Amino acid sequence: MARTVDSPAHRPREIPVTQDVPDRRLGRLAGRIAVIGGAGSVGPGWGNGRATAVVFAREGATVHLADRDEEALEVTARQIRDEGGSAHTAVLDVTEPAAVRDYFARCESLAGRIDVLVNNVGGSRPGGAVDLGLEDWDSQLRTNLTSAFLACKYVVPIMRRGGGGSIVNTASASGLRWTGAAQVGYAAAKAAVIQLSRVSAVEYAPDGIRVNTVVPGQLHTPMVEARLAGQRAGGDVARLLAQRQARIPLGFMGDGRDTAYAALFLACDEARFVTGTEIVVDGGMTARCD
């Protein structure tokens, strides 16, 4: 079940000021109600969900934030509130159907509508078809695909009642290309997220609901230090960063802010004629032939 968070149980981790999100405040989401899943972060810095939450709040949205990590969620919310923004938080397992259904019902009850949904939950496990266990395969599909499906399932009726909305699903370049490591469960799930968005975009277009996908490439997010370096480089963060950067034609790695600004475009009225498509945020990596 989702659990509303009124105050942090302990002091949250700080976001390094050196990794600040540019404070543009153009008001592109002024008055909008946005729900962002996976709005915490696995470590200090700008994960995709945290950056998206802060950017959306700075653009005028009232943000409803969900994550299974209460401490990380509260860091994000405090950043927004300290800047004068409005954030509501709930601890939520996005793979539990009843919890997701009840969460969206509470959001609608509190706000009256939902204008924007960003599905940002995800995480990878290493292993190809032979090495990945069946339990891990099932877990990868639940975390990366079923979470997006459930959120779409329960938000679409709310958006219909409100006259439309924008859904932004987060996939991965791994759903498009081999990105340097066998992670078949993650890759298959993220490829399916892209098609989930396309099918939903066509079906719900008559309701004024746009559905698109942001496809991040190999970004330098807190996930690198927290998990990926241990999985792929024996804990050597510098070596993993060098390997990832070598694949990027632009010669540098983006971070969660780049994902956030792509999601912002798809969420706001500037993208009123954009649905059923993807924005690939990867520095040109998936355009390479090697």
User: What is the set of active-site residues?
Assistant: 186
Distance of alpha carbon 280 from alpha carbon 278, whole angstroms: 6
Sheet holding 165-170, edge to edge: 3-4, 87-91, 62-67, 33-37, 116-119, 165-170, 209-216, 278-281
Name 279's Cβ contacts closer than 8 Å, sequence gap at least 6.
212, 213, 214, 215, 262, 265, 266
- Tokens representing 66? 């969900």
Using DSSP bridges, classify how beta strands 278-281 and 209-216 pair: parallel, antiparallel or unpaired: parallel
Backbone dihedral angles phi then psi of residue 26, each to the nearest 5 degrees? -95, -5
CA 73 to chain centre: 13
Q: Parallel, antiparallel, or unpaired for β 62-67 and 33-37?
A: parallel
Q: Do the beta carbons of residue 215 and residue 173 sit within 8 Å?
A: yes
161: its two tokens: 């009642």
End-to-end CA distance of the chain: 45
- For the CA atoms of 132, 69, 198, 155, the dihedral, rounded to the nearest 10 degrees, stands at 140
Query: In whole angstroms, how large is the CA radius of gyration of the chain?
Result: 18
Spatial distance between the Cα atoms of 205 and 287, rounded to a whole number of angstroms: 29
CA distances from 245 to 229, 255, 278 (A): 14, 12, 22
